[in-house]
Amino acid sequence: MMSKIAVIPGDGIGKEVAPEGAKLLEQLSSARGLGLELEFFDYGADRYLKDGTTLPPEQLEAFRRDYRAILFGAVGDPRVPDSRHAREILLALRFQLDLYVNLRPVRLLADRFSPLVGKGRKEIDGVFFRENTEGVYVDVGGNFKQGTADEIAITEDVNSRKGVERICRAALDWARKHGEKTVWMSDKSNAMRHAGGLWQRVWKELARDYPDLELRHMYVDVLAMQMVLRPELFRVVVTNNLFGDILTDLGAGISGGLGFSASANLNPGKIGLFEPVHGSAPDIVGTGKANPIATFLTCALLLEHLGHDAEARIVEKAVDLAVAENVLTPDVGGSRTTSEVSEFVRAQVARL
């Protein structure tokens, strides 16, 4: 069976790292008969500035109908100050495809990348499930008496029972599939009674459906502290959109930074959107300094989504070898270029 994969490099270093990921997928597909059919799309700032195109609705429909995954680079360009094209491309994909799971692994690849290990801390190796369609990001609210001394700004935190339940189930199902025993749900139900109360009730109800798992809870402020003090505790964590945003940046900070951070936007069983967490990094475009590892780890998530778990593990092992031999870009203490790191990783994949 052929699997159609759309590749959207986007802007800036997205155009440098996404093609390297695509080459890796092509290589694995032909070596191991995966039947991946990659197709490139030029959506991004150049196209927008040329003819005003962001993401045509009929293309979005075609993605939904015929494709199994999108490998995305990054969007953001100084020539488009309001980032209109970025919103219309990336946010349209996330919202219109209803990709409610934002899955982010937080794995320390080597002790030297951690500000904590060696100070009595253990390494982190977890997967964070961030709700991706609700919360304070839905932009409900308003500014009242704006410009006066009595101004009030309100940003509503929107949580639906369906939305809370489906992200919690996604984390629990993932834990079951991967042999994990404990899943942490994190909220701020002591202060945010209405939203937190819903998360608490849903979590308690779900315990009945997952008797084989230990469903635990930790307030988000405490969890942030414990990620620093006892990072090894957190192997599966589920939380809302805002808390997930913050906790996963903390996770990136204690595991080597943006150059290593991968993510998947999923609606299980449907097309998924796979992207490194970093942006278009205009400050290093064209210098060969863009770290391609985040994109390779993103490709591993994409392969796993397609059911190619063995190939996903091969990619992770190849990345581990690049780390072990310090074949890395300057952001993580190496002295190699994007293409040197990429060629090394693909050479390891060919051997494994």
**Residues at the contact surface with Mg ion, assessed by CB under 5 A:** 245
- Taking the complex as a whole, how short is the minimal distance between the CB of residue 83 and ligand NAI, in angstroms? 6
Element (H, E) at 85: helix 84-86
**Catalytic site residue 137?**
yes
To which residue do tokens 């490709």 refer?
Answer: 299
* Measured distance CA(283)–CA(289) in Å, rounded: 10
Catalytic residue among 221, 270, 309, 320: 221
> Of the listed pieces 117-125, 196-204, 227-235, 290-298, which binds ligand NAI according to CB under 6 A?
290-298
Q: Does residue 327 belong to the site contacting ligand NAI (CB under 6 A)?
A: no
* Strand ranges of the sheet holding 182-187, from the earlier edge strand across to the other edge: 36-40, 3-10, 69-74, 272-276, 262-266, 101-107, 125-131, 236-239, 182-187, 214-219
Which residues contact residue 214 at a Cβ distance below 8 angstroms, ignoring those fewer than 6 apart? 181, 182, 183
Please identify which residue in 8, 24, 36, 75 interacts with ligand NAI, judged by CB under 6 A.
Answer: 75
CB 188 within 8 A of CB 196: yes
**Burial class for 138, CB neighbours closer than 10 Å (0-12, 13-18, 19+):** middle
Q: Does residue 261 belong to the site contacting ligand NAI (CB under 6 A)?
A: no
**Catalytic site residue 50?**
no
**Catalytic site residue 210?**
no
Site mask for ligand NAI (CB under 6 A), range 82-121, x = bound: -x------x-------------------------------
**Catalytic site residue 249?**
yes
Read off φ and ψ for residue 325, nearest 5 degrees. Answer: -95, 5
Calculate helix-pair angle for 193-209, 161-177, nearest 10 degrees. Answer: 40
Catalytic residue among 98, 249, 309, 320: 249
Nearer to Mg ion, 185 or 247 (CB): 247
Listed in sequence order, the DSSP H helices in 214-329 are: 220-229, 241-253, 293-305, 309-324
Q: How many residues does the chain have?
A: 352
Q: Does residue 21 belong to the site contacting ligand NAI (CB under 6 A)?
A: no
Please identify which residue in 26, 91, 226, 279 interacts with ligand NAI, judged by CB under 6 A.
Answer: 279
**Burial class for 1, CB neighbours closer than 10 Å (0-12, 13-18, 19+):** exposed
Q: Does residue 316 belong to the site contacting ligand NAI (CB under 6 A)?
A: no
Please identify which residue in 258, 321, 337, 347 interacts with ligand NAI, judged by CB under 6 A.
Answer: 258
CB 131 within 8 A of CB 187: no
**Catalytic site residue 221?**
yes
Q: Which residues sit opposite 215 in a β-bridge?
A: 183
Q: Does residue 278 belong to the site contacting ligand NAI (CB under 6 A)?
A: yes
Q: Does residue 236 belong to the site contacting ligand NAI (CB under 6 A)?
A: no
Nearer to ligand NAI, 51 or 283 (CB): 283
- Taking the complex as a whole, how short is the minimal distance between the CB of residue 182 and ligand NAI, in angstroms? 30
- Taking the complex as a whole, how short is the minimal distance between the CB of residue 126 and ligand NAI, in angstroms? 21
Nearer to ligand NAI, 151 or 249 (CB): 249
CB 336 within 8 A of CB 328: yes
Q: Does residue 28 belong to the site contacting ligand NAI (CB under 6 A)?
A: no
Give catalytic residues, as residue numbers. 137, 188, 221, 245, 249
Binding site for ligand NAI (CB under 6 A): 13, 74-76, 83, 90, 258-259, 275, 278-284, 289-291, 294, 329, 331
